[in-house]
Chain A
Amino acid sequence: MSRLGTLGAKLYRGETSYDFVGKRKLWYGITLCFVIVSLLGLGFRGLYMGIEFQGGAVFTTPPTKVSQEDARQVAEDTSGRDARVQELGSGALRIQVTDLETEESGETRDALAKELGVSSQKVNAELVGPSWGDQMTDKAIQGLIVFLVLVSVYLALAFEWRMAVAALVALLHDLAVTVGVYALVGFEVTPGTVVGMLTILGYSLYDTVVVFDKVKEKTKNVTKQDRHTYGELANLGINATVVRSVNTSVVALLPVAALLFIGSGLLAGGMLKDIALSLFIGLTAGTFSSIMIATPVTTDLKLREPKIRDHDRRVRARRAKAAARGEPEPEDDTAAGEAADDDPDEPEDAGVPAAAAVGSQRSERSQRQQRQQPATRNRGRGRPSGKRR
């Protein structure tokens, strides 16, 4: 922990910093690859839709000695349809019969029960009409659209529209990757999967919001200083929250992993596993996207803003001049920029950006002037209050 803690501290202060934003072209490239592979997988392999989307029946038997082959034989003979049999972790069988009419399902169930030598009460049947899946899909898409609209509006209000757009980009990436993995690996898509996907939406945004919160804070007064570009400050924001993002993701993934483990081991099949699997994939993608995609996209959008662009240019010009004068500019000197966002006690209103600190510009300038002075005179500066500890 202590090493982690120190690393956290270094990241936090920007001593150790990874240039997430600067390398954004790389992330975009990786993302694009992921998404293209996902879409190709989707196009060529398609999704393996569970019985719920085709209509049919799923029978779950108690643990049994009967072989899969026998069970399949019985199911096919009784129903006259194709049957797929999976062995579940506990020795139970899961038999799927597509296209089975409700009326006929009882016979199949009874036949299976007879084969296993148990009462048909013990064999669970789930029958799904052919339009059930369509209805679910419709509802899910409807929900997706409503959700995206609501969240965009909300994020635009809580942050700004650029961040809302970036968050949505990250979100779509998560969905694309999850769907892609399902297509490529051939996992079965069930209602549980759909639920998981919809939950990913919420969680992926949750993750992104935590990062944005910090980025917003760091870049609040970006134009009031000229040491750092917007991208650099945003990057500082990411670095400061990287440990937190990883932590929150790990903690969110732990229970999901437990679900997945139990769901595929003890119960095998069914809702638990389906929800957990899509969540697991989605959360992992969500962690990646909240760090690697959301903020870089925000930065790119920001740079289209004239104000920010000019500011960027100013900063670079200043650096070029400084370099010409031969003043080495400490790469990691974040003080100035940080001073700019020194605004400790903003109004309490959650989500409402506080006004920029009044003293920030002055303090920032004085800092810079005093940079070359002996340290003693500098003690306690860099604090708008001017007070010492």
Chain B
Amino acid sequence: MAAPKKGRRPTGAQGKPGRSLLVLLLVIVALGGGMLLSGNNTPRLGIDLAGGTSITLTARNQPGEADAINQTNMNTAVGIIERRVNGLGVSEAEVRTQGDENIVVNIPKGTNEKQAREQVGTTAQLNFRPVLTYAQDQPKPKPSDSGKKQDGGKKGAGDEKATSTPSPDGGTPQGRAVTDGLKAATDGKKAPKPTPTGSGNASEPPAPAPTPTAPAPEGVPASLQKQFESLDCSTKEARAKASREAAQRKDGQPVVTCDGEQPIKYVLGPVAVEGKNVSDANAALDQTRGQGWIVQMSFDDKGSKAFGNITSELAQKQQPQNQFAIVLDGEVVSAPSVSERLVGDAEISGNFNQQSAEDLANILSYGALPLTFEEGNVTTISPTLGAEQLKAGLIAGGIGLALVVVYLVFYYRLLGLVAVSSLVVAAILTYTIMTLLGTAIGFALSLPAICGAIVAIGITADSFIVYFERVRDEIREGRTVRPAIARAWPHARRTIVVSDVVSVIAAVVLFIVSIGSVQGFAFVLGLTTVVDLAIVFLLTKPMMMILGRKKMFANGHPWSGLDPKRLGSRPPLRGRRRPAAGSSETKEA
């Protein structure tokens, strides 16, 4: 054995192999236990393996809205899209942001995906339609107390008071429908007319009409009347269905539809003002009149004219025909009443809280989504194809692993077995972590992720090769096996750490900048690199230490992969100096 230098012993080279192995064992047991406890024993599969539709939407700046793409708006959009998708009755649909400007919508198992695609990300239709009549679908008597609005000073141009009802969860304790009239804000104040309103955001059952169904007013065609009577608005699904149908109707046609939140059905006249003519809308805290949160909106020229026309028309009519409905995606978001002609700016007041006011303002100013989205990528995978891909990926992984195993065992003999067992443990560890992450952070295994795992087999095996080659180099120096193993470690460790750090940097950068399915690949690449490091330190090296003490290895049995003769070691023991080459090439490797 090479005499170690006085007082210098390769640190960390001896160590306590048993302890490292114990640590690793504990880690695996802990993770495995966590996996069993979490109840999921397989990683979550991504859309491309489980089947379903994945839609990536990319936010686009609108002219004049350069800074519209921000976290707040993205989150609002996610909320709205989520509502839409789940309104379709799609279970487990997943909507999340990705990067700064993408929203990914995953709809599993291909149900309803066609509708989903039509719904998602399209800037919804926003219209103002006059209300012809409405009714509680399921009479749930809930007396509404029509609060008269005391309204103080007027603000500037037209100010429209439309009611929005407080939502029970919206922070208003009374939980009553506050109804406001609407006035021209030129001068005097007119007493608001009480009107029941439905509201999409600040949701609260509006005052039910005294009769479950209002008498059919003139203007409601008989056919519609039938539809109106048969329309089911009692459940969420039914309402979603009704509003989808309503959304299909032409602008010039009257429609029947439901309130977005309440079991109320409406018959609405043709579109009077299009949402695109709303030039701006925002939520504001009304300081002067103490109305709390209000929504102010202003129209462009065309909208202003149309809005003036419709409001002057509605102001003449009786309840409920003096209301106009704000219709989004076919469902009634809010139906404020009108008591005078309004031109230009309007104001919707009611019992809003900040959230509901902002939501309504958002809907008004952007149509639906606070951003314009374009469909970047839509992938539809049938569950059968997903299963095929999964199978193909696993087969590829199996073949890759087998090839690596054969190569390692052929080249390194018994050492190869050390590598193979390390690989197997690394695989188990990776699998466990992936499964746990599925539960913890919603990590879903996609095809690219499997790809990353397969590529990682080779990269993991490389660490072992680096170490084994160092050990062999030490043996070529003429050392016996045990010290060779010990001395090789510090050098091998440095190489492994340096090169793995490069891999980690690559994975992290790839993860941060990538979009779409690429992220899964990068994530797995990074994960496996970290696992690789852990395995080399906690398993491969201690195993080598322990094996080094075994006779078969220590004596360099031909099958051990460390046979000095085969490695061409020439112990500088007897006779002549060895040819200069490498005589003192000690310790490197």
Q: Mark B1-45, 1 if CB is under 8 A from A, else 0.
A: 111111011111000000000000000000000000000000000
A213–B500 Cα gap in the complex (Å)?
13
Residues of B within 8 A of A132 (CB): 56, 58, 376-377
Does B222 belong to the interface (CB within 8 Å)? no
- The answer, among A12, A214, A255, A330, for a CB contact under 8 Å with B400, is A255
A165 within 8 A of B: no
Q: Are A333 and B580 in contact (CB under 8 A)?
A: yes
A253 adjacent to chain B (CB < 8 Å): yes
Whether the Cβ atoms of B374 and A131 lie closer than 8 Å is: yes
Does B225 touch A at the CB level, under 8 Å? no
Instruction: Report A217-259 CB contacts with B as 1/0, cut-off 8 Å.
Output: 1100000000000000000000011011001101111111111
Selecting from B240-248, B310-318, B428-436, B568-576, the interface stretch reads: B568-576
- Please encode chain B, from 549 to 581, with 1 for each CB lying within 8 Å of some chain A CB and 0 for all others: 000000000000000001111011101110111
Given A132-B58, A198-B510, A389-B1, do A151 and B502 touch, yes or no (CB 8 Å)? yes
Question: Is A338 in the interface zone, CB < 8 Å from B?
Answer: yes
> Is B392 a contact of A272 with CB atoms below 8 Å?
yes
Interface size class of B (residues with CB under 8 A): 35 or more
Rounded to whole angstroms, the CA-CA distance of A378 and B577 in the bound complex is: 7
B465 to A: closest C-beta gap in Å: 5
Instruction: Given A12-B585, A251-B458, A261-B399, check contact A266 B411 (CB 8 Å).
Output: no
Inter-subunit contact B451/A13 (CB<8 Å): no
Residues in B with CB closer than 8 Å to A243 are: 469
Instruction: Given A102-B375, A147-B506, A279-B455, check contact A12 B401 (CB 8 Å).
Output: no
A191: chain B residues at CB < 8 Å are 516-518
- Distance between B475 CB and nearest chain A CB, rounded to angstroms: 9
Q: Main SS of the interface on chain B?
A: helix
User: A5 within 8 Å of B by Cβ?
Assistant: yes
- Could you list 10 further interchain pairs (A-B, Cβ under 8 angstroms) beyond the known A122-B384, A143-B510? A129-B58, A131-B374, A139-B515, A143-B513, A147-B510, A202-B505, A251-B461, A271-B517, A334-B582, A350-B497
Which A residues lie at the B interface, using CB under 8 A?
1-2, 4-6, 8-10, 12-15, 52, 60, 62, 102, 105-106, 121-129, 131-132, 135-136, 139-140, 142-143, 146-147, 150-151, 154-155, 158, 191-192, 194-195, 198-199, 201-203, 205-206, 209-210, 213-214, 217-218, 240-241, 243-244, 247-248, 250-259, 261-263, 266-267, 270-272, 275-276, 279, 330, 332-336, 338-339, 341-346, 348, 350-351, 367, 375, 378-380, 382-385, 387-389
Can you list 26 A-B contacts with CB-CB less than 8 angstroms, sorted by A residue number?
A8-B469, A8-B472, A122-B384, A129-B376, A146-B513, A154-B502, A155-B502, A191-B518, A202-B525, A203-B506, A213-B491, A213-B494, A248-B461, A248-B466, A255-B396, A275-B455, A335-B580, A335-B584, A339-B584, A344-B587, A345-B10, A348-B11, A348-B12, A350-B498, A382-B572, A382-B584
Where the two chains meet, the residues of B that have a C-beta atom closer than 8 Å to any C-beta of A are: 1-6, 8-12, 48, 56, 58, 99, 110, 114, 117, 374-382, 384-385, 388-389, 392-393, 395-397, 399-401, 403-404, 407-408, 410-411, 413, 447-448, 451, 454-455, 457-459, 461-462, 465-466, 469, 472-473, 476, 478, 487, 490-491, 493-495, 497-503, 505-507, 509-510, 512-518, 521-522, 525, 566-569, 571-573, 575-577, 579-589
